[in-house]
Amino acid sequence: MTLPSPFLLVDLDRGPSPGLGPGTRGVTGRVLVGVSEKPTGADGGFDVLLTAEPDPPRPWVGCADPRATARRLAEIVADRPAASVALTQVLRMGPALAPPDRLVAESLAYSTLQASAVFRAWLDSAPPRTPRPSPAPVRLARDGDRLAITLDRPQARNAMDAGTRDALCEALEVAALDPSITRVDLYGNGPAFCAGGDLSEFGTARDPAQAHLVRVHRSPAALLQRCGALVTAHLHGACVGAGIELPAFAGRVRAAPDTVIRLPEVEMGLIPGAGGTASLPLRIGRERTAYLALSGEALTAGEALRWGLVDEVVQGE
């Protein structure tokens, strides 16, 4: 069976495309991208909206040449069709789901993609990495009603391995269950807040179904959904994958000027799997989330501030 192209481009400057309109959300098996020189009242079914306007309103993404950017996205989708389509499907489903169910949907898609030939090929091409576990990857400090949680694997740029994930869950459980805690500050020790998932552990879970069960039962994202209103995340340096997916749940996000944000998972044949399809859309909308994940582009602190992904840029953070 020949499947249609997973990418569909609509030039909105030429008027509505035949067969598209209010029902564009029904294009479930394709990534739907709209381009226009200036933002228009485009239908909400588009997955990404690109414009030449330098600082457009949400959900638009401004770029110097939107059609060239669309061509680059088309190449990415053609190269990683399963991950690209799964990403947009999960993002489209999000608004109709309860917050905890958004994490379940993300995990199911992530687990499916872990078994894909594309992800296995990426693993085979990646250089071998030596695990560097830490005996105490997360540090806690209590001061009255304030709890400070610090990711403390600076030698690994606070990459999220299983030990760090479990220790972070234990710390967030304290915040979620102790009513005397009214403020939580989340930090990363060393040159980066968090460089994402620990690549030395990628692919070590050979049973995707079991990995899904672990992911939903030991989930920092689920705990942040419960206590995120109390949390201020303090970002600096690399904030990659989980390094932005988890802080985006926080009630307030502060970023140092050197903060650099990226979602690299689609290039691996995956989608964000630390809660990003649930957290980032709440701050920047699903269209800009899709753009970040599909393109893999880096977002500076200033750009993240304009988009609303961070709340303030602070010198010396």
- CATH code of 237's domain: 3.90.226.10
Same domain, residue pair 68 and 113: no
In a domain, 283, yes or no: yes
In a domain, 119, yes or no: yes
Q: Measuring CA to CA, which residue among 254, 265, 263, 249 is closest to residue 301?
A: 254
Same domain, residue pair 75 and 111: no
122, 147, 194, 199, 296 from 241: Cα distances, Å? 17, 24, 8, 11, 10
pLDDT on residue 1: 57
Query: How many angstroms separate the CA atoms of 314 and 292, rounded?
Result: 23
Same domain, residue pair 74 and 178: no
Query: How many angstroms separate the CA atoms of 302 and 259, rounded?
Result: 9
Same domain, residue pair 54 and 181: no
- With a cut of 70, which residues of the chain have pLDDT below it? 1-3, 16-27, 203, 317
Same domain, residue pair 199 and 73: no
Asked whether 38 and 53 are in contact (CB, 8 A), the reply is yes
- Provide the 3-class DSSP secondary structure of residue 89: helix
In a domain, 95, yes or no: no
* Span 123-162, pLDDT tens digits: 999 888 888 888 999 999 999 999 999 999 999 999 999 9
Amino acid sitting at position 165: R
Count CB neighbours of 68 within 10 A.
12
Q: Write down which residue in 79, 97, 126 finishes a domain.
A: 79
Same domain, residue pair 200 and 304: yes
Count CB neighbours of 204 within 10 A.
11
Count of domains forming the chain: 2
* Span 23-48, pLDDT tens digits: 444 567 899 999 999 998 777 799 99
Same domain, residue pair 13 and 68: yes
Q: What's the domain range around 283?
A: 107-313
Count CB neighbours of 220 within 10 A.
24
Helix (H) or strand (E) holding 164: helix 162-177
In a domain, 98, yes or no: no
Beta bridge partners of 188: 151
Same domain, residue pair 117 and 262: yes
pTM of the model: 0.94
pLDDT on residue 292: 98
Asked whether 257 and 210 are in contact (CB, 8 A), the reply is no
pLDDT on residue 17: 59
In a domain, 307, yes or no: yes
pLDDT on residue 23: 45
In a domain, 246, yes or no: yes
pLDDT on residue 174: 95
Same domain, residue pair 171 and 274: yes
Count CB neighbours of 90 within 10 A.
24
Same domain, residue pair 249 and 124: yes
Residue 146 CB burial class (10 angstroms; 0-12, 13-18, ≥19)? middle
Same domain, residue pair 189 and 308: yes
In a domain, 123, yes or no: yes
